[in-house]
Amino acid sequence: MNNNETIRRFPCTVCPMGCELTVDVDKLTVTGNGCPRGAAYGVAEVTHPTRTLTTTVALRGCDRVVAVRTDKPIPKELLLPAMDFVRDYVAPENVQPGAVLVKGFMGTDANLVVTGK
């Protein structure tokens, strides 16, 4: 581990390129990023890390599940509480891809939307 915690190095996970980012935690400057999205990710990762949740929910009147996602990343610490919510959630039958199931999911500004068929 680096003694100097004001500089953190970690791979960017915005896309599969995996650029190696170096972030100055005090100045919030990012180097090593290949695109502006990487810079934003680098800052977010040292201030308030977020992740997109992708999972499935039960379908009413049906013995299978349908794929869902949050349409924006949510705070990382909400992933497991969100799964507790999702486990008891049942989607209406015949929902189509793109349908919003839960607005303001887990008190964030993200929505839970259907992705699968």
- Report residue 51 as tokens: 């992740």
Q: Is 54 in the site for another protein (CB under 8 A)?
A: yes
Residue with tokens 């935690």: 25
Candidates 2, 64, 88, 107: give the one binding another protein (CB under 8 A): 64
Tell me which stretch binds another protein (CB under 8 A): 8-16, 23-31, 104-112. 8-16
CB of 55 to another protein, least distance (A): 6
Radius of gyration over every alpha carbon of the chain, rounded to an integer in angstroms? 18
DSSP 27-46: TTEEES-SSHHHHHHHHHHH
- Region of 87 on the Ramachandran plot (φ > 0 left; ψ -120 to 50 alpha; else beta): alpha
Using rule CB under 8 A, residue 15 touches another protein = yes
Binding site for another protein (CB under 8 A): 10-16, 18, 51-56, 58, 63-65, 67, 69, 76, 79-80, 83, 87, 97, 115-117
